[in-house]
Amino acid sequence: MEPEIGSSHICGTRFREPQDLESDMEDYTRQKNVEGGEGRETPPQPGYRPVGAGPERLWAPWRIAYFTEPQPDECVFCTIPADDDIPESQALILARFDHTYVIMNCYPYNTGHLMVVPYSHKARFQDLTEEILTEMMNVSGLCVEVLEETINAQGFNIGFNLGRAAGAGIIDHIHLHVVPRWGGDTNFMPVLGDTRVLPELLEDTYERLRPVFDRKTNER
């Protein structure tokens, strides 16, 4: 397929030009929503993205600190839950289960960015047992419940980064990311200013999430 005139292409992916998006938005606002025989303008909803707007980017330039700082020789996902001298509030561990635990990400993509980590030190998805995989899925569902209740998350990105090429920061110990999202959370600050506005300290977020995790865990 020949590239469209006026479009940007990277590796065969077409990215919409700004004027294309403005035209899409104008077309959208002209759509009629007929109720009771009368038409009215329908304003775009928060987080609305026109069809063909191209990939959405959740910028996190502050995470570069993780990659540039010296890394410990030992696996942090193994040592942190095993160290009884570190309080869980300091380690940011929110909940423990038979095969996994929930920990806050110190370099979050968004406020409330959690990780579900197996105790077993495995790098490959296919090396996890059925019991571990099942628990990881169930615990990720619990994370969604807690984040919806505590910080009113409107959506989630949930998944694995497997391998350095896929963006994994710790490649030898598999972990599942649960990233809460809100309409409009990709704004001009990270795009233009290399700055991410996180409205709450990690410790404060921990204090909000921990009692809800305790309550919901006891209810299970």
Question: What amino acid positions are annotated as catalytic residues?
Answer: 175
- How many angstroms separate the Cα of 29 from the Cα of each of 23, 43, 66, 182, 211? 10, 6, 42, 22, 43
User: Going edge to edge, which strands form the sheet with 155-160?
Assistant: 93-96, 100-104, 114-118, 176-181, 155-160
Residue 136 and residue 210 in contact, taking contact as beta carbons nearer than 8 Å = no
